[in-house]
Chain A
């Protein structure tokens, strides 16, 4: 007889593990099934080359919900987040270098523009106020605009009241954040091109949008929402790589009684009539479950694991038109030493933060233009970090690793370019030559190089079209539209089947909010009683 659990969770990514921990905490017998040999999904650390460990995909953390850290007691299970100090934007002959030390950053910006320095201060203040206002959205369940259930809308009424009470100036800024492009929004304050370009970069990460695309301003806020030990606006890298987070959550979950199996790919969700009652593994093993939670994206869940005939037609249509549009790749380098930037030679503190290849708004926008027509950017935006400067355990002594997040790399290539496997080398070369313009000797330092195209990300991690957020974060796919209009409350049209990954509200990134909210919703739905 098949083994039975109260809940089976498909996918051992960070959200899957968070859900499992919360369900186990409520006394449920819970099983997590991970296809790969490592846990974490896109938040994994792997020893790609002997002695060199990489956060292969997701590489920084900023929005991991503090309530999760607290409620699952993650520091006890090894979670440690090391601060990344500042952002360094190398240019041809100069650079822009912002650090966590406010005074130094102000002096640096003043070097570029006195009015920008003044505006920077005001802007930062405003963004912190905005972030405070908007943060509750990350923790509320979106209502269904198709229904008028006052209970669903109540949390929004609170938010509407809070909005009404904001000063007009902040109301205006809030609306702009939700609707404007990052570039247009920033141009209201700043004139320094590399400053605008580097700030705007956070608006486009992981999306198929450019810095001038309306709707990208919103993500600027994420920078100010990130909390690390309660301090606003710090990005960090987890000790041991992003897999460190996944392992900490997994250990916390295990201590609560969660069972976790790796190399256990699920091939379908088993149905009893119109109700999900378990899963079937590759190899035929069947596992009974009271409820099934899928932390895979909508395409994987509904077009692969679920028999489409059980889905209502309208729902299926929505799933089919859900947009993924992966737009980024990753290049990981193992180095013999530290890179030397021609604009600021030597090994300095500027290497300890993020290095942003974003010299101008036009550079950023042109990188996007390439992608719109199916080409990877000839000169991409690169967000580079050198984790070994913060966490030397990631490489052998004296050696270093570099993580390069690269955008744009459109999943769908233009006709005539073949597949991503054909373009992989050229893509890696574009990244290297972009870096070489700023670090002339980079090639001499490289011991190993790993290139991850959107296709690799899809194949390895299981993210459709390589979209790192399990679906485009465009306005029509957010909040009550995420993942499917009318189904934003973690439930699905299949009874007993829930969604809990980045495909759900509040979207992607190592937040864990999705996994937690989904688990709480499952518990509420079943009144806490395991089925």
Chain B
């Protein structure tokens, strides 16, 4: 496909936001020969996948710290390796230390994981391989769903029928037991999913974290099993989940994507804040920038969240009150904060016995199911638990280039810090949260606080202000069953086409949802290209 001759629009496609999904969509569109422009509000592209300079010579992941779920076809299609992306996969996927010095450790190697579980329960050690196989089986089916564009419920097309048949065949090939199992598992609470397989609360808790990550869900919330299972879809994570770093930090993924877009002839402009999608006769005609500049385009693609896209960028008169109401009700309230630490040395976790390799993956601070649930409970009432759930990484173990020799970077995702605080405001609570995180980590790695040379705390309010995430919602809308597949982000608009002709959604708010997968971006590009081909 090539740029349409005679088209009056300056661009074939303008993409709002240079997050990873926006860049991926742009990459695919540019690769198809479309005149493509990506507009980024901040001075640095990347959105939630950025590397920041935490202190002179110390680089840290701004928000997302792992990129293991990135869809393999994206890597290939956009030739990201050639553009400089190098993934590092530590052998330890996740390490969940306990104050008593024991730990639950998930390795890439099944047998080693099983061995580590034996400290907690022999039965659980035996059960692990079966559980892992079960998760992989269900996840392999979900991977089909993730790459599919949800069917048009109102008027299914031939493509929808083909998609349905493909899904049906995949489902068929599954065996009746596994089919029943998949349908039973998705709506479950992750606490039940892991509780049916394992007896040790420590193991249950360590696993269950992936069902609640970034979500306003607790392990006992129905549908958290679906979040867990989707986390394993389309990657080789299995029950343990995947862990991979981009060398140079998550910003390296952004750099590779920008290079790919430019390599295909597309443009990326930073410091260009879109304030409106322009429209004529019910069709998007381009965007207006904060500077007053207007840029015309045949299609407008939004990588920002759907609530922001619809309620801020589109004229409410065009959208109509009902759609405004629906879009305004998309649940985006975030629960995640981020603490980035520059450390003068490697922290010593009692449970790791001084072994750095066990700290190379995700460090999961979660004592068990009840502990997680209690931490979640606090957030329901606008409070932060005294014992939050943390997921930390020390990327410098695998990638020493991030900090001066001998020093380290620790990136901590703090869960269930609600955007809407009952008392106080986030600007006042920021440092208190930083202290709480250090206090929590001290229980597992005594002396860690003394190693801290720089500390950065990003609250949900910061995520909103600095990253344009409405209410700090990192996933652009809650995951789970209510905002899923054919109804993510809105029933009737799950096919990347927004309720304004020519306006598309390519960010995490679209199917298959949040996380650094590139799934929404790649799927959206496919649909946009299909529409453009049809309209010619």
Interface residues of A (CB under 8 A from B): 144-148, 163-164, 168-169, 171-172, 175-176, 178-180, 184, 188, 209, 212-215, 314, 321, 323, 362, 365, 369, 372-373, 474-476, 480-481, 485-486
Give B334 Cβ to nearest chain A Cβ, in Å: 15
Q: Which residues of chain B from 169 to 188 have any CB-CB distance to chain A below 8 Å in the complex?
A: 172, 176-177, 179-181, 183-188
Q: Tell me the count of chain B residues lying within 8 A, CB to CB, of chain A.
A: 41
Which chain A residues border B405 with CB–CB below 8 Å? none
* B187 engages A215 (CB within 8 Å): yes
With A474-B187, A476-B185 known, 13 other A-B pairs at CB within 8 A are: A171-B491, A175-B482, A209-B222, A214-B221, A214-B223, A215-B222, A365-B380, A372-B220, A372-B377, A373-B370, A475-B188, A476-B192, A485-B180
**8 sample A-B contacts, Cβ–Cβ < 8 Å, listed by A number:** A169-B322, A175-B491, A214-B223, A215-B187, A372-B373, A474-B222, A481-B180, A485-B184
* A486 engages B187 (CB within 8 Å): no
Which chain A residues border B223 with CB–CB below 8 Å? 179, 214-215
A147–B177 Cα gap in the complex (Å)?
10
* A146 engages B188 (CB within 8 Å): no
* B176 engages A147 (CB within 8 Å): yes
* A214 engages B480 (CB within 8 Å): yes
Interface residues of B (CB under 8 A from A): 153-154, 172, 176-177, 179-181, 183-189, 192, 196, 217, 220-223, 322, 325-326, 329, 331, 370, 373-374, 377, 380-381, 480-482, 484, 487, 490-492
* B153 engages A164 (CB within 8 Å): yes
* A184 engages B487 (CB within 8 Å): no
Which chain B residues border A145 with CB–CB below 8 Å? 179-180, 183
Given A172-B491, A214-B221 in contact, is the A321-B196 Cβ separation under 8 Å?
yes
* A168 engages B154 (CB within 8 Å): yes
* B185 engages A171 (CB within 8 Å): no
* A362 engages B381 (CB within 8 Å): yes
Which chain B residues border A169 with CB–CB below 8 Å? 322
Give A397 Cβ to nearest chain B Cβ, in Å: 48
* A214 engages B172 (CB within 8 Å): no
* B329 engages A146 (CB within 8 Å): no
Which chain B residues border A475 with CB–CB below 8 Å? 187-188, 222, 481
A130–B487 Cα gap in the complex (Å)?
17
A144–B176 Cα gap in the complex (Å)?
9
A145–B381 Cα gap in the complex (Å)?
40
Q: Which of B153, B179, B189, B380 makes the CB contact (< 8 A) with A212?
A: B380
Which chain B residues border A148 with CB–CB below 8 Å? 172
* B492 engages A171 (CB within 8 Å): yes
Which chain B residues border A365 with CB–CB below 8 Å? 380
Which chain B residues border A214 with CB–CB below 8 Å? 217, 221-223, 480-482
Q: Which of B172, B192, B329, B490 makes the CB contact (< 8 A) with A323?
A: B192
A178–B187 Cα gap in the complex (Å)?
10
Which chain A residues border B492 with CB–CB below 8 Å? 168, 171-172
**Smallest CB gap from A146: residue in B:** B176
Give B50 Cβ to nearest chain A Cβ, in Å: 31
* B153 engages A213 (CB within 8 Å): no
A180–B186 Cα gap in the complex (Å)?
14
Given A168-B492, A485-B184 in contact, is the A146-B179 Cβ separation under 8 Å?
yes
The CB with the most chain A CB atoms within 10 A, among B177, B183, B484, is that of: B183
* B331 engages A184 (CB within 8 Å): yes
Give B485 Cβ to nearest chain A Cβ, in Å: 10
* A486 engages B222 (CB within 8 Å): no
* A168 engages B370 (CB within 8 Å): no
A485–B180 Cα gap in the complex (Å)?
6
Given A172-B487, A214-B481, A486-B180 in contact, is the A476-B187 Cβ separation under 8 Å?
yes
Q: Which 8 A-B pairs have the closest CB atoms?
A: A146-B176, A475-B187, A172-B491, A485-B180, A179-B481, A179-B482, A168-B492, A215-B222
A164–B380 Cα gap in the complex (Å)?
36
Which chain A residues border B192 with CB–CB below 8 Å? 323, 476
Given A179-B223, A214-B480, A372-B220 in contact, is the A146-B177 Cβ separation under 8 Å?
yes
Which chain A residues border B329 with CB–CB below 8 Å? 188
Which chain B residues border A213 with CB–CB below 8 Å? 220-222
* B176 engages A486 (CB within 8 Å): yes
A288–B492 Cα gap in the complex (Å)?
56
**Smallest CB gap from B183: residue in A:** A145
**Smallest CB gap from B155: residue in A:** A164
Which chain B residues border A163 with CB–CB below 8 Å? 153
Which chain B residues border A474 with CB–CB below 8 Å? 187-189, 222
Given A179-B481, A180-B482 in contact, is the A172-B381 Cβ separation under 8 Å?
no
* B326 engages A172 (CB within 8 Å): yes
A527–B200 Cα gap in the complex (Å)?
50
Which chain B residues border A209 with CB–CB below 8 Å? 222
* B153 engages A171 (CB within 8 Å): yes
Give B412 Cβ to nearest chain A Cβ, in Å: 26
A122–B455 Cα gap in the complex (Å)?
51
**Smallest CB gap from B322: residue in A:** A169
A148–B490 Cα gap in the complex (Å)?
30
Which chain A residues border B217 with CB–CB below 8 Å? 214
**Smallest CB gap from A485: residue in B:** B180
A475–B484 Cα gap in the complex (Å)?
15
Given A172-B490, A362-B381 in contact, is the A485-B187 Cβ separation under 8 Å?
no
A410–B142 Cα gap in the complex (Å)?
35
* A480 engages B183 (CB within 8 Å): yes
Which chain B residues border A215 with CB–CB below 8 Å? 187, 222-223, 481
* B487 engages A175 (CB within 8 Å): yes
Which chain A residues border B176 with CB–CB below 8 Å? 144, 146-147, 486
A365–B221 Cα gap in the complex (Å)?
13
Which chain B residues border A485 with CB–CB below 8 Å? 180-181, 183-184
Which chain B residues border A188 with CB–CB below 8 Å? 325, 329
A494–B187 Cα gap in the complex (Å)?
28
A147–B175 Cα gap in the complex (Å)?
9
A121–B122 Cα gap in the complex (Å)?
58
Which chain A residues border B186 with CB–CB below 8 Å? 476
Give A422 Cβ to nearest chain B Cβ, in Å: 22
Given A168-B154, A171-B153, A188-B329 in contact, is the A314-B177 Cβ separation under 8 Å?
yes
The CB with the most chain A CB atoms within 10 A, among B177, B185, B380, is that of: B380
A213–B482 Cα gap in the complex (Å)?
12
Give B438 Cβ to nearest chain A Cβ, in Å: 28
A209–B192 Cα gap in the complex (Å)?
13
Give A120 Cβ to nearest chain B Cβ, in Å: 15
Give B161 Cβ to nearest chain A Cβ, in Å: 14
A188–B329 Cα gap in the complex (Å)?
6
* B491 engages A481 (CB within 8 Å): no
* B183 engages A481 (CB within 8 Å): yes
* A476 engages B184 (CB within 8 Å): yes
Which chain B residues border A144 with CB–CB below 8 Å? 176, 180
The CB with the most chain A CB atoms within 10 A, among B172, B187, B221, B487, is that of: B187
A209–B188 Cα gap in the complex (Å)?
12
A373–B374 Cα gap in the complex (Å)?
9
Which chain A residues border B322 with CB–CB below 8 Å? 169
* A476 engages B380 (CB within 8 Å): no
Give A216 Cβ to nearest chain B Cβ, in Å: 8
Which chain A residues border B374 with CB–CB below 8 Å? 373
A58–B192 Cα gap in the complex (Å)?
28
A407–B232 Cα gap in the complex (Å)?
37
Which chain B residues border A314 with CB–CB below 8 Å? 177
A178–B492 Cα gap in the complex (Å)?
16
A425–B189 Cα gap in the complex (Å)?
33
A214–B223 Cα gap in the complex (Å)?
7
Which chain A residues border B172 with CB–CB below 8 Å? 148
Which chain B residues border A172 with CB–CB below 8 Å? 326, 487, 490-492
Which chain B residues border A373 with CB–CB below 8 Å? 370, 374
Which chain B residues border A146 with CB–CB below 8 Å? 176-177, 179-180
A314–B181 Cα gap in the complex (Å)?
11
A136–B180 Cα gap in the complex (Å)?
23
**Smallest CB gap from A472: residue in B:** B192
Given A146-B179, A369-B377, A475-B222 in contact, is the A176-B184 Cβ separation under 8 Å?
no
A180–B370 Cα gap in the complex (Å)?
23
